[in-house]
Structure 1
């Protein structure tokens, strides 16, 4: 049921992202993917599983629920692309047999709903078309304007103080404010929605209540846009030719919110942490050997915003990576583990600039349709922050930065920084009101020139 362990002389045994040591223990039964062992040192945990079981390992979820965790890059792509694995959770024997308790923290993520992420075949194609075509209507100039407006507002709030927590004051707030604008959610509700999503993803005791809050917010949004359509994703989904029901629109808005906020928050925070703590990163960025988008790709390789995606189920008995998978088994995609698979990255110190073959956004029919939006918020937001505050530096030792792991993601709890206090607001010329005309394409090179100037100054 297991494959041969990887070569113990692999460079992976000596180095891992975030400096996690590789633990060694005798092979045993399924290990829980939650708790101190897995959450404190996830990369050590992945390598321990890889040494014991190979590319696919048996694990336990909350309540002792069994599942498989895919650790191999090639095996993860196989699951994402093969029709043998369904995204419909009704295939899961835990649901068919009714063994999952009503208060399980797994339910907000895995319970079947009429979602593009949990359907397949013709139904998936219909829903996917509605989502992708509605997202295609988002004007990139408007997105840039929202990012500039809210990033400037957030920076203005802490710039005069000379200190900030870049997680609480920036990374967590910026995606919520931007994405909620695009969905049609009121600005005053954006940060509340963002906090609820973070709690739901964490798998806490209040995850179900936070999920219910998001459902209620989306229901109100659907009813509001039916009465008064706007220029936003909620309105576009309601009138799309695919004829989504009110429930389908509500659930896709909920999905878009969850899928956009947590990953983008983690991407921004991880990129800022790398910039402030990793001299190789700063040297390459300031020396012009890589751009900020290149740096984000490196972060997506080393610290993907979502570490595990638990939404695949085997439709028939099969073998994967030497493991025997039975029909109805949950097969979880280990995105973080697959990205450090020694079969594709024998030397983790080698840069991955410009290489987008990581697993961060998935692959196949369920590849993330909103990945360009996440990259845009992170790229433009970080660029503006560093342009406004070029002397920003970490206020604590890099080893003191607190990281909290959950069964699905690994997030920074804080990133305290200091800098020279700024007097008064210094809003860039790019900030515009809602009523002003869209930026013209000719304005883009000027922005790019400012970025190159900042890179040289670093």
Structure 2
């Protein structure tokens, strides 16, 4: 996530006149002017788990923190308290219009949290009957997918990606695999043609990384989805977009567009992180390398361990208090922002006193949140990660990390702590022959990203049908 902070504000450079030991309250300490710890800056980015434990020792299950712009919030660290917040929308609303700091004008249009905190007409910003209406359309449409069919075609796309680097003996499993596979699959699930998947992948990656062309990439994706909606209205298929169009809740075009976009982008980022984190653990954790090779631990077991130790989203922003209340030992006021600390709750000593022990057969982690806003697409995300990694390990069983584990770089934001790269080596192998549109080339340019209407972004009706349409015989 990009911010508008200066180097001094972010703690990346010392304040003028600062000595060798910065005073309390200086950003280099990770503390705000009142001695409250920041969830942004060097401390949070370099050692988030260490920060959680400091906060837990200082405040218990719920801690006061500062987010970008030194805006106050509450971070929920306890596993039980996280579930309490997630499961009681009457006390902790998802409607960001309740946020007191926003009502008082402290959250400007250019504030780094505005894109993810500003209210939108989608289910994850709604409560009560409106949430049930929107969420019902999303979950019922997602449930119509055939999981076995999804897995078959995840395997096809995974093999396409592996073909591109199999003969070289080297790859970056973040850029060449983890960041590519989820979007290639999801573009099919929403009804995009095969040939358009690579361009959407590049646009989504560009947008989420906050580059100079992120705004144009966002416009490109929006334009592509708008044209997809128009096409599906005329030629419905067996895909998520068509099912939203025909759902009996009679969603508006804008509601459909926003929810297709929500599912597409959310699945892309979280599943990419899950794949990357699982591959890192498989390559570096001796328990997993030994167990996987010996057949004592299945890949789904490994995925669940990662969902405990390194959830794709570390923090969820946010919930807003509907009234004054006490949570843990914290006195929360109406309009306060409450952050679900998924990663912190997963290492709560009350439920995991020994973090060195592997977790088997236990899905009570917080990786997908909980309550009425629990992630509706978690089974599809698991299927993409599990099937894709399985295909990779089957094709390249001697994968080895190309650099020491300590040299792996991560990019941190308020909501995630993700790998930047995962370089590996392996014995070169020949590519397989695939019968589908090839995966995008490395560093593929995004054609006409600034002008999405310069040419049709959706293929004509006579174009070759997508694999999802062929699967269902439509």
**TM-score under structure 2 length normalisation:** 0.82
1:294 paired residue among 301, 307, 311: 301
Higher percent of residues as helix: 1
| Aligned twin of 1:450 | none
1:392 aligns with 2:399: yes
1:34 aligns with 2:40: yes
| Aligned twin of 2:82 | 76
Deviations 1:61-81 (A, max 9, x none): 222222111111111001001
Structure 1 range deviating more: 99-108 or 385-394 = 99-108
Corresponding residue SS for 1:391: coil
Matched residues in 1 for 2:109 and 2:217: separation?
Answer: 15
Deviations 1:171-214 (A, max 9, x none): 00000100111012344443443444445555677766554444
| Aligned twin of 2:264 | 257
Deviations 1:131-154 (A, max 9, x none): 111001112232112201110100
2:236 paired residue among 217, 229, 236: 229
1:267 paired residue among 259, 268, 274: 274
Shift of 1:25: 9.7
| Aligned twin of 2:111 | 104
User: Cα 1:339–1:210, aligned 2, differ >3 Å: closer, same or farther?
Assistant: farther
The answer to whether the 8 A contact 2:151-2:387 is kept is: yes
User: Cα 1:66–1:188, aligned 2, differ >3 Å: closer, same or farther?
Assistant: farther
What pairs with 1:317-328 in structure 2 (closer than 5 Å)?
A: 317-328=324-335
Structure 2 regions of 5+ residues with no counterpart? 1-28, 436-465
Deviations 1:230-286 (A, max 9, x none): 221111101100111111101111110122111100110011000111101111222
User: Cα 1:424–1:258, aligned 2, differ >3 Å: closer, same or farther?
Assistant: closer
The answer to whether the 8 A contact 2:238-2:469 is kept is: no
| Aligned twin of 2:25 | none
Structure 1 regions of 5+ residues with no counterpart? 1-23, 439-458
User: Cα 1:154–1:241, aligned 2, differ >3 Å: closer, same or farther?
Assistant: same
Q: What is the alpha-carbon root mean square deviation over aligned residues?
A: 2.4
| Aligned twin of 1:62 | 68
1:147 paired residue among 149, 154, 162: 154
The answer to whether the 8 A contact 2:157-2:184 is kept is: yes
User: Cα 1:63–1:436, aligned 2, differ >3 Å: closer, same or farther?
Assistant: closer
The answer to whether the 8 A contact 2:86-2:92 is kept is: yes
**TM-score under structure 1 length normalisation:** 0.85
The answer to whether the 8 A contact 2:273-2:312 is kept is: yes
| Aligned twin of 1:19 | none
User: Cα 1:427–1:188, aligned 2, differ >3 Å: closer, same or farther?
Assistant: closer
| Aligned twin of 1:445 | none
Matched residues in 2 for 1:319 and 1:205: separation?
Answer: 43
